[in-house]
């Protein structure tokens, strides 16, 4: 009986499968059509873009670009990007779409690298950290950015230099960054000091006093010690502060110099010798430090300008903190030891809508856009005009409180080495420095090991 049933049952099943398959196929072809439609639209807008490029080069110059510009930005830039889109879409024929990538710059870079490797034009404009241009331009990923209105002429020189390679500009600087030394002004006063510490040992001494004498002071000095870019920058701060450099006379990258080892030894000593830095620092990052300082309980912190803005909103430290220039080694008061940061716009070399992307890049360099970034979002603008008090008299915003001190700090910045292999260099440095911070290796061993790899993989290139 069962055996007799089988062929019939199977036939029904097969018919069922056939029907389902047919439906699925129909669905697929429907989807395929939809996809085709989408493709057509894209081709159209690409075509428009191409046409506009020609018009532009024909001498028309101002605006006229249309189509969509997809702007992929680091997620913390979201509020600024929204404001940009609002203004840009009102003024231009083109439409700006924004999309965020993860908050960590390394994840953002991975996203871009993935897209570039596939030669994808799925985004038109992105955000470039100050250390990426050599790599992005060298690989042919970032297109040239023109500056017909001369916006860059009025910008700070270092951010413009960062995107200039062989005399051409490959980005539009948006905002700059520098490391500041945050401190608890109330505790400093309580301990009887008029001025924040200016040298490394002053930092250590005051931090120790604070931990001993002030109730609620748990951490003396916190900084980025985790295995990430922040540690490379910290180490560079110290190297520069000790008067060192990481380029030798032949342009090779050298990390195991006397100052390099001294710098890392100082970092290790802060944790284990002077005991002003908690031993959790080897797993800490930038924003984690910011949160810790914000809760109170910390005397000193090294961080970026954005923390200043966040501390303004009703936090435990709102009225009791201040920020100053980075401390330096004893006897080296003129060191430029704050690390230059900052982001610029870049245009994807594989974009199909270069004209509209160029138009958006121009916009980011205008005073209007810069005023939004600084006045509304607390970034350090790249336009020099905004550092003058007189500029803000006619503005809807008050002059942001961090501009004066950070304009002083910006005078003391140095740039990270410009190399196409910066990511690899930094990865080697922070991994080995992190080993020293957990006392798995001595500072000298760690930097010698990093140097061996830098010599074999970067200095030979």
Which residues of the shown chain bind other proteins in the complex (CB under 8 A)? 3-4, 6-7, 10-11, 14-15, 18, 106, 109-110, 113, 117-119, 135, 138-140, 226-228, 278-284, 288, 291-292, 295, 297, 420-421, 423-424, 427, 431-432, 434-435, 437-438, 440, 449-450, 452-453, 455-457, 461
Taking the C-alpha atoms of residue 147 and residue 41, their distance in angstroms, rounded to an integer, is: 30
- Identify which of residues 107 and 157 has a Cβ nearer to other proteins in the complex: 107
Q: Are 325 and 338 in contact (CB under 8 A)?
A: yes
Task: Compute the distance between CA of residue 172 and CA of residue 28 in angstroms, rounded to an integer.
Answer: 43
* Phi then psi dihedrals of residue 286, to 5 deg: -55, -55
Nearest approach in angstroms of CB 434 to other proteins is: 5
Nearer to other proteins, 133 or 365 (CB): 133
Q: How far apart are CA 449 and CA 308, in angstroms?
A: 37
Tell me the C-alpha distance between 190 and 208, whole Å.
Answer: 14
Nearest approach, Cβ of 228 to other proteins (angstroms)?
6
- In this complex, which beta carbon is closest to other proteins, that of residue 94 or of residue 131? 131
The per-residue DSSP string of 328-345 comes to: B-TT-TT---EEEEEEEE
Q: How far is the CB of 420 from other proteins (least distance, A)?
A: 5
Min dist. Cβ of residue 407 to other proteins (A) = 32
Task: Report residue 341 as tokens.
Answer: 């940061």
Nearer to other proteins, 13 or 201 (CB): 13
Q: Which is nearer to other proteins, 66 or 277 (CB)?
A: 277
**Nearest to other proteins of 192, 251 (CB atom):** 251
- Which is nearest to 354 in space by CA: 35, 38, 57, 37? 57
Q: Closer to other proteins at the Cβ: 151 or 284?
A: 284
Question: Residues with Cβ < 8 Å from 459, sequence gap 6 or more?
Answer: 252, 253
C-beta of 171: minimal distance to other proteins in Å? 18
Q: Considering the complex, what minimum distance in angstroms separates the CB of residue 225 from other proteins?
A: 8
Output the smallest distance, CB 138 to other proteins, in A.
4
How many CA atoms does the CB half-sphere of 280 hold within 13 Å?
9
CB atoms within 10 A of CB 214: 16
- Per DSSP, the three-state class of 31 is helix
């Amino acid at each position: 009986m069962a055996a007799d049933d089988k062929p019939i049952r199977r036939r029904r099943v097969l018919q069922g499968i056939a029907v389902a398959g047919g439906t699925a196929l129909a669905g697929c072809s429907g989807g395929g059509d939809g996809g085709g439609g989408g493709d057509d639209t894209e081709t159209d807008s690409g075509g428009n873009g191409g046409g506009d490029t020609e018009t532009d080069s024909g001498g028309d110059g101002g605006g006229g670009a249309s189509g969509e510009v997809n702007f992929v930005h680091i997620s913390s830039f979201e509020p600024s990007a929204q404001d940009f889109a609002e203004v840009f879409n009102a003024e231009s024929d083109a439409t700006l779409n924004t999309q965020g990538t993860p908050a960590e710059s390394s994840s953002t870079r991975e996203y871009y690298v993935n897209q570039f490797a596939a030669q994808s034009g799925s985004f038109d404009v992105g955000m470039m950290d100050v250390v990426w241009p050599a790599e992005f331009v060298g690989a042919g990923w970032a297109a040239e950015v023109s500056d017909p209105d001369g916006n860059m002429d009025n910008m700070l020189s270092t951010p413009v230099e960062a995107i200039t390679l062989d005399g051409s500009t490959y980005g539009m600087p948006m905002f700059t960054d520098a490391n500041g030394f945050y401190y608890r002004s109330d505790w400093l006063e309580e301990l009887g000091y008029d001025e924040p510490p200016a040298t490394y040992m002053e930092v250590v001494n005051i931090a120790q006093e604070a931990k001993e004498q002030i109730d609620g002071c748990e951490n003396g000095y916190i900084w980025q010690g985790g295995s990430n870019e922040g540690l490379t920058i910290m180490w560079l701060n110290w190297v520069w502060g000790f008067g060192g450099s990481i380029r030798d006379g032949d342009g090779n990258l050298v990390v195991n110099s006397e100052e390099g080892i001294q710098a890392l030894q100082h970092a290790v000593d802060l944790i284990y010798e002077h005991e002003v830095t908690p031993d959790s620092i080897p797993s800490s990052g930038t924003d984690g430090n910011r949160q810790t300082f914000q809760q109170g309980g910390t005397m000193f912190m090294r961080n970026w300008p954005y923390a200043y803005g966040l501390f303004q909103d009703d936090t435990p430290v709102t009225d009791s903190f201040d920020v100053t220039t980075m401390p330096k080694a004893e006897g080296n008061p003129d060191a430029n030891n704050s690390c230059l940061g900052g982001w610029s716009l870049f245009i994807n070399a594989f974009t199909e809508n270069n004209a509209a992307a160029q138009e958006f890049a121009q916009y980011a360099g205008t005073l209007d856009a810069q005023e939004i970034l600084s006045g509304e979002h607390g970034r350090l603008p790249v336009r020099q005009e905004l550092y003058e008090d007189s500029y803000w008299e006619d503005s809807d915003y008050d002059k942001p409180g961090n501009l004066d001190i950070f304009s002083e700090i910006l005078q003391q910045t140095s740039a990270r080495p410009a190399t196409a292999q910066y990511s690899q260099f930094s990865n080697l440095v922070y991994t080995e420095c992190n080993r020293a911070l957990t006392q798995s290796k001595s500072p000298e061993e760690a930097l010698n090991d990093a140097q061996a790899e830098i010599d074999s993989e970067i200095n030979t290139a």
